[in-house]
Each structure stands twice: as structure tokens, then as C-alpha cells.
């Protein structure tokens, strides 16, 4: 009696389009979304109970039929022709009633399942519509319906995480892709060798990493050897220092992300020399030698030819982090 729940929620959201190539396309597996909803679990429990009631009734009817059949077969030779005819009709009628009940039970089960499933599908559809509209998607394809012959996952944004968030569904997602973890998560757990290093919101993990491992794992970062003197940490070989925010003693590591370094030709905290440049389209990725340290600096919107290799430059650090050297 128990049946697999098959869902066919087609999701196609059309937005006002100015240029097809400027629009966003998304994908979602609605089967996965709906099966993850707590309402679906409750519905399945109700359906299991209903299916058992139907099965118990059918079993009772079968037991009654088999009992009467055995009695008829056992005493067949003692019955008159008239009694035989009555009992055979009774057995035939019982078989007919059982068959008709089984057919109605199948129909009643499907009807009840559809009735319980309808509001769940509507809720999921509303969440998908809301997420798609907020995200500016031209179309969201439902990959669970089998309506797509081919799609390139790299060009379609999976809106399932946002829909699950809209529905209040908690999901544990394991990934080694830092960008994916930051974009999809409300809270991130960073682990190394089976040990939890830090738990926090993506912004907290990125801006306030608990240790060098987390800082290095999430995003780009420069690590510079430092020396602790009093309540300051000095870049080794220079008189440039920063507050010892981590209360490190002895040797320390100064960490700063490339986008938090300002580079100019007219003065700053420390002097360096550009050794390499890499054009990234919307930015230029510089390598600057400062007191023997290779510092990476990413400047958005920079002109590749404005600061050539070999140029003397000055750097200012912002949002500096300090860690124990070990």
C-alpha cells in the first residue's frame, strides 16, 4: 500500500528581460527540496498510518475468507447441494467485496496523499518564486522533472540553498570549495584533520579567523614574519609595527589580505618594489618586495601600465591580523 511520493513541481519563473545574455538562469531539484521539508515527514507518517489501517482491513477480510473456505472444504461432503450453493455464493461475494475494497483503498490512498501534498507543494513553490524574484533570475529550471536534456551546471546557479533557507530547513553541506561555503552558508565550520578550527558566520570567518590555518584556507592572505616587542608586533627587519591584538608572545605572524593593502607612489607605512604584475581584468595583482617579504597586493580598477615592474611603491596595511608563529 505504501507508495513512493513522486513530485512534479515545474518551476519556470519569467522576469522582464531586456537582454537574454544579461539575465540569470538557475536550477533547482524540487524533489529534494520537498523531501527535506518537515511537513513532508509529517505527511508521510500520516500516510503510513492510513496505509496500515487499510492493510489491516484487507488482512481481516482475507482471514475471514480463508476461515470460511477451509470450513467449506473440510465439510464439503456433508453439505447438501442447496447448502453448497449458498456457501459457494457467500465465498464468491466475499472475494468480490475484498477485491472492490482493495481497489477503493488504492484510490483513497492516492486521494489522501494528493490532498496532504498539495499545500506542501504550494509552500515550496511560493518559496522558489520569492527567491527567484529576489535573485533576479530569468528562468529557474526544475531538474527533478526530467524536462532538461542537458544543462551546464557551471552556468546555472543552484537556488536550492536559498529556498531551503526561506523554508527554514537546516542543511549540513560539506564542501572543499571555499567560495561555495561562503556564498551558501549562514554558519561555517572549518575543520582540519578532523578537528574543528572555527565556527562562525562567513563574514566572521573571513575577517576574524581563529588561526593561521583558517585565514589561509578562507580567501587570500599575506603572512609576514613578525617580532613581539611590548604590546606591538613589528615586521621583521623593519620599524613598522601593529597592535598585538592576539596577545602573542615571542615570534608572531602578521597577516593581511591583499585587498586590505593600499599602494601608492607618494608615501605610506613602508617602502617596497614591484617585482611582478598580473592582469585580472577588473584588477591588477601585484607582487611587492618589502624588506625581503613578497607581499601580494590586489588593486581593483588599476591600469596595468600605471605602475610597471621595478617601480618604488609605498604600502599601507588595514585590518591587520596577528597570530602565533606556530
| pLDDT, tens digit (0-9, with 9 covering 90-100), for 309-324 | 999 999 989 999 998 8
Residue 304 DSSP label? T
Tell me the mean pLDDT in the region 76-104. Answer: 91
Crossing angle (nearest 10°) for helices 81-135 and 160-167: 110
User: For the segment 204-255, what is each residue's pLDDT rounded down to a tens digit?
Assistant: 989 899 888 998 888 889 998 888 888 888 888 788 889 888 888 878 898 9
Which pLDDT value is given to residue 152?
52
Place of cell 593561521: 212
Query: Higher confidence at residue 123 or residue 165?
Result: 123
Percentage of the chain with pLDDT > 70?
89
The region that residue 300 occupies, defined by phi over 0 for left and psi between -120 and 50 for alpha, beta otherwise, is beta
Question: pTM of the prediction?
Answer: 0.51
pLDDT (0 to 100) of residue 89: 92
Q: State the number of CA atoms in the 13 A half-sphere of 117 facing the CB.
A: 17
CB burial readout 99-138, b (16+ within 10 A) else e: eeebeebeeebeebbeebbeebbeebbebbeebbeeeebb
| pLDDT bracket for residue 325 (50, 70, 90) | confident
pLDDT of residue 217: 87
| Band of pLDDT at residue 145, cut at 50, 70 and 90 | confident
Amino acid at each position: 500500500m505504501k507508495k513512493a511520493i513522486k513530485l512534479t513541481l515545474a518551476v519556470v519563473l519569467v522576469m522582464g528581460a531586456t537582454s537574454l545574455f544579461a539575465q540569470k538562469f538557475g536550477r533547482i531539484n524540487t524533489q529534494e527540496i520537498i523531501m527535506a521539508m518537515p511537513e513532508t515527514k509529517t505527511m508521510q507518517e500520516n500516510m503510513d498510518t492510513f496505509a496500515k489501517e487499510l492493510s489491516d482491513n484487507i488482512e481481516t477480510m482475507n482471514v475471514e475468507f480463508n476461515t470460511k473456505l477451509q470450513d467449506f472444504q473440510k465439510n464439503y461432503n456433508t453439505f447438501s447441494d442447496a447448502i453448497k450453493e449458498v456457501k459457494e455464493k457467500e465465498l464468491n461475494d466475499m472475494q468480490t467485496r475484498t477485491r472492490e475494497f482493495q481497489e477503493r483503498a488504492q484510490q483513497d490512498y492516492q486521494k489522501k496523499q494528493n490532498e496532504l501534498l498539495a499545500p506542501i507543494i504550494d509552500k515550496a513553490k511560493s518559496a522558489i518564486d520569492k527567491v527567484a524574484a529576489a535573485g533576479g533570475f530569468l528562468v529557474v529550471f526544475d531538474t527533478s522533472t526530467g524536462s532538461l536534456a542537458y544543462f551546464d551546471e557551471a552556468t546555472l546557479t543552484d537556488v536550492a540553498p536559498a529556498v531551503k533557507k526561506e523554508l527554514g530547513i537546516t542543511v549540513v553541506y560539506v564542501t572543499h570549495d571555499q567560495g561555495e561555503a561562503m556564498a551558501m552558508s549562514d554558519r561555517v565550520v572549518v575543520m582540519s584533520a578532523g578537528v574543528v578550527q572555527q565556527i562562525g558566520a562567513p563574514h566572521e570567518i573571513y575577517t576574524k579567523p581563529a588561526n593561521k590555518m583558517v585565514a589561509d584556507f578562507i580567501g587570500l592572505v599575506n603572512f609576514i614574519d613578525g617580532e613581539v616587542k611590548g604590546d606591538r608586533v613589528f615586521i621583521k627587519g623593519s620599524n613598522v609595527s601593529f597592535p598585538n591584538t592576539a596577545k602573542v608572545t615571542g615570534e608572531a605572524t602578521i597577516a593581511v589580505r591583499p585587498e586590505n593593502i593600499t599602494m601608492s607612489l607618494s608615501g605610506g607605512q613602508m617602502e617596497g618594489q614591484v617585482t611582478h604584475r598580473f592582469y585580472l581584468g577588473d584588477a591588477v595583482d601585484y607582487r611587492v618586495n618589502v624588506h625581503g617579504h613578497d607581499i601580494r597586493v590586489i588593486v581593483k580598477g588599476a591600469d596595468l601600465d600605471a605602475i610597471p615592474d621595478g617601480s618604488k611603491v609605498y604600502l599601507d596595511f588595514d585590518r591587520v591580523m596577528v597570530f602565533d608563529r606556530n
